[in-house]
Amino acid sequence: MNKILKAAIAFCLAVPFITMMTVSSAKADKIRIALAETPSDELAAFFVALERAKANGLDYEWTAFSDEELAIQAVLSGQMDIGFGTPYAAMQRSRAPIRIVFQLSKLKFFPVTSKKYSKLEDLNGEPIMLHSRGGGTDSIANVIEDKLDIKFGKRSYVPGSSNRIAALIAGQTDATIVDLSNKNKLMKLQGDKFNVLPMFEVDASDEALFGNLDWIKANEKDVDIFVKALLSVWRDMHKDPTIISRETNPDGPIGQLPKEILDSLDGFYTDAVAGMVLGCGAADRRSRVIEDRGLLVSEAARRRVKLASACGRRAVIPVAALFAQITWSGR
């Protein structure tokens, strides 16, 4: 078995099955961030942005929750300030006072299976492993069911595409949905043992940074620092994806991942940017994504979103001013 995939499996097994894990940086007043998964290569760019924000005076602590719903509820309750994940189902279900602060990626995932299956229709009644309940891959599974008139069997949830690839290799599942980079990695290393099923185009948003609206309004300065840092990383990554590995803190959570995974960061982010999953290509869709998710945005706010997604010189806006104009449509 390839070293990278072995390392991914080893890391999965090493991650404790606990409800949550909290890590703080050094100073006292910190922004509290809820993660819907443990740190992985998929979060490396996000942690680079956190370090840039810290250099500009915004200290932070992060908590990795074992379930995305717990992370969302922590933001709603005020236990956490900002969340990283896919809160759309919660927003639709309860009209929760959550607002998207920054759209981090476009939803571009692929059904990957053992050789038992050759087309999506073969998965009718079959179990499938997904990222989280109500998350992006769960939504894709719903779209597949609706479009092809099939019904998946039992759905299990394991956060992180790399972790689901490890589970697939270990024989813990025969079907999953993973991101572009992990799909490419698997096919390159063990393509003879697995299938990527033909899939129609799904144009939607995936992971986002979100916050409680009251907290966003009360902490405009902190939110602006955070968004400036995110925009700078996404802009630089679009120009040179290797910036992520070069700026990864060796003493931080990403820097502590297995060497084989760290060595693959350049390839991971090169694939992501080339596939328009991250970087400017993904950001260009942000205003439409907000509308598609059931949010009403005024024309002035829409212009600000497009400005913030341009990956150009004038990308920074007063975030609280923007999200004060976004209201839940109730659709």
Q: So what's the pLDDT on residue 8?
A: 47
The Cα-based distances of 330 to 91, 92, 96, 320 in angstroms read 9, 7, 10, 21
Whether residue 46 sits in one domain with residue 186: no
Query: Of 204, 219, 243, which one is at a domain's C-terminal end?
Result: 204
Whether residue 219 sits in one domain with residue 304: yes
Q: So what's the pLDDT on residue 36?
A: 82
Whether residue 249 sits in one domain with residue 222: yes
Whether residue 321 sits in one domain with residue 259: yes
Evaluate if pTM is beyond 0.75.
no
Question: CB of 35 within 8 A of CB of 288?
Answer: no
Whether residue 100 sits in one domain with residue 230: yes
Q: So what's the pLDDT on residue 289?
A: 33
Whether residue 237 sits in one domain with residue 140: no
Residue 264: which CATH number? Answer: 3.40.190.10
Domain with 139, as residue range(s), is 109-204
**Number of folded domains in the chain?**
2
Q: So what's the pLDDT on residue 44?
A: 93
Whether residue 82 sits in one domain with residue 51: yes
Whether residue 315 sits in one domain with residue 212: yes
Query: Of 171, 204, 237, which one is at a domain's C-terminal end?
Result: 204
Nearest Cα residue to 111 out of 154, 152, 67, 146: 152
Whether residue 193 sits in one domain with residue 128: yes
Long-range contact pairs involving 50-56 (C-beta distance under 8 Å, separation at least 24): 50/229, 51/247, 51/249, 51/252, 52/229, 52/232, 52/233, 52/247, 53/225, 53/226, 53/228, 53/229, 54/25, 56/225, 56/228, 56/229
The Cα-based distances of 95 to 92, 219, 329 in angstroms read 6, 22, 9
Whether residue 239 sits in one domain with residue 153: no
Q: So what's the pLDDT on residue 241?
A: 94
Question: CB of 120 within 8 A of CB of 176?
Answer: no
Q: So what's the pLDDT on residue 85?
A: 81
Whether residue 304 sits in one domain with residue 190: no
- Block means of pLDDT (10 residues each) for the chain, length 331 residues? 46 39 50 89 92 95 87 91 81 73 76 96 97 81 93 93 92 93 87 93 72 90 92 93 96 92 90 67 38 32 37 36 30 25
Query: Of 186, 204, 222, which one is at a domain's C-terminal end?
Result: 204
Q: So what's the pLDDT on residue 108?
A: 73
Whether residue 133 sits in one domain with residue 62: no
